[in-house]
Amino acid sequence: MTVLSSRCNASKVLRPERCVVLDGKPCAACTEDIELEKQIGELETLIYELYNRRRALRTVMNDNHDHLIHNFPPEIVSHIFVLYATPNVSTHKNKRSTPLRLGAVCRKWRQLAWATPRLWSSLALDFTFGKNDPLHSLHLIDEWLERSASLPLTIRYDDRSAHPQAANILNKHSARWHDVHFDIAVHHLHHLNSPSQGNSSCLLVLRYPFQFSVRPFDFPPFRATELALKSVPVPHVNITWNNITVAFLYDICVDQCIEVIRRAPLLRTFRLQAIKPLSHIFPLPNARILHPQVRSFELSENSSNVVATLDSLSFPSLEEWINDDYSQLWNGPELPEKMTSFIRCSPSLKIFKINIDHISCHRIIEGLHHFSTIEVLGLHSVLHRFRIIQLLDALCAPTQSQSPLFLPHLQSLEFVSKIYFPWESLPQIFSSSRWRSLRVKVNTRSGGHDTEVKTAEVLGELMEGFDLSIGKIDEPEWYY
């Protein structure tokens, strides 16, 4: 039996070299352990050497079998890398094609990828809802932006909670911000610098948190070109309004919507959704506010508050009006009259798109008689196939000789249908001599697949020479 020294019997395990007996040598167990540790060290060294040899061997294998690096100059390979790995920062898509995956292939790919600044000039960070994104590593964010050298930066930064350290890293490169999208809580706006480039594009989405205390404006106004307010009162927004060209207001009071028009002289696109009643913070105007720059106006999920909005605004340069309305207001006695009055103030209107669900066919046709300047008419339906049939019949009905020409400047008719489209009613449009040169576009949820393809082929044969296109609905990537 092996005899242990008195030091080995201690409660604390000691290193073998500290174990000695009376003659100054370690005990038998410690001697064996020392020998095993030596052998383990030798094997670990051998394994390390084998890994190095294998790594070098795989480098040679990559050199022998990598047709990309050997067959193309570095400039071409870099361009291919950029085409593969540049992310779509507006939608957070293509995360699988991150340039980090290129660097994981082999050493030469990594060296070339790390030395290609264009690969790192776009960055999408999403800190919302506790997402486990590998790019949440602050060190990696810093390295990513450093690799972009001096190129202009495209950045999307979504952060509903506070991550000031990530914001500080982005701020280090604010002089190079070219196209940026910030989606943050309104009381975190002070964490970010304003874009310093005069030609930079900045979309700022501000949200109202569940728990929020008003923060004093102890920081310079933020410079943005596009603004989306989600339930954020206008008095809580500290921005430079003179640069705003696009505004989307959701769950904002009527008087505050009108105040945005007052404050943004360069506004060209104005979107309103879920408008709330008066907050009485700002006075309603006694006369219409004329804004000569607005070109596109969109109303969604309208309420009775729309009437007050239309009564207060005038867009003489308006070219596009989208009325994505799911309410019954069009059938009421007041809104059509207000819309007609609003249209008279917009003599340049060329495009009108409307959701026809919940609106009687008679009321739609009656309203369209006042849209004599439009060249593009878009009809959107989610629920009613029969409503589309009614409208097609009405459009193709013969016009009384004494009546004014219906839609005299119409050039294009667009249908967006999330139900099966009534194809059997479509040929009657082209049978009318008046609409024979009309461009007709039909987008359906199943466009380009199965039944829709067969239908397109049949219609193409029947209506050869007519301008008909069939497509699939692209579900909107709402960056707001």
- pTM over cut 0.85: no
Write the single-letter amino acid at 416: V
Query: Which structural domain range is residue 21 located in?
Result: 16-65
Q: How far is residue 128 from each of residues 13, 135, 148, 476, measured CA to CA in Å?
A: 49, 13, 25, 20
CATH code of 454's domain: 3.40.50
Residue 392 lies in a domain: yes
- Domain for residue 393, yes or no? yes
Is 244 within the bounds of a domain? no
Question: What are the structure tokens assigned to 64, written together?
Answer: 């022998």
The pLDDT score that the predictor gives to residue 74 is 87
Residue 342 lies in a domain: no
DSSP 8-state symbol, 418: S
Collect all residues with Cβ–Cβ distance below 8 Å to 479 and sequence separation of at least 6: 90, 91, 181, 203, 205
Give the span between the Cα atoms of 14 and 25, in whole angstroms: 15
Considering the domain boundaries, does residue 328 fall inside one?
A: no
Non-local CB neighbours of 145 within 8 Å, separated by 6+ positions: 120, 123, 153, 169, 170, 172, 173
Answer yes or no: are the C-beta atoms of 89 and 155 closer than 8 Å: yes
pLDDT at 268 (0 to 100) = 97
Distance CA 253, CA 282 (A): 10
Concatenating the DSSP letter of every residue in 253-307 gives: BHHHHHHHHHH-TT--EEEEES-B---SSSPPPSSPEE-TT--EEEEES--THHH
Residue 376 is assigned to a structural domain of this protein: yes
Of the three residues 40, 65, 90, the one that is the final residue of a domain is 65
Is residue 442 one of the residues assigned to a domain?
yes
The confidence score (pLDDT) of residue 142 equals 92
Instruction: List average pLDDT for each run of 10 residues in the chain, which is 480 residues long.
Output: 48 55 73 88 93 86 76 87 72 63 85 92 80 68 93 89 86 92 89 81 84 68 94 92 95 93 96 90 91 92 71 92 67 65 85 85 80 90 78 76 74 85 80 82 67 58 70 58
Q: List the beta bridge partners of residue 322.
A: 298, 353
Number of domains in the chain: 2
| 125's tokens | 């960070």
Instruction: Give a yes or no: residue 122 inside a domain.
Output: no
What's CA 71's distance to the chain center, in Å? 37
Confirm if 279 and 259 have CB atoms less than 8 A apart.
no
pLDDT of residue 352: 92
pLDDT score at 465: 66
Q: Please name the residues in contact with 423: beta carbons below 8 A apart, sequence gap of 6 or more.
A: 455, 459
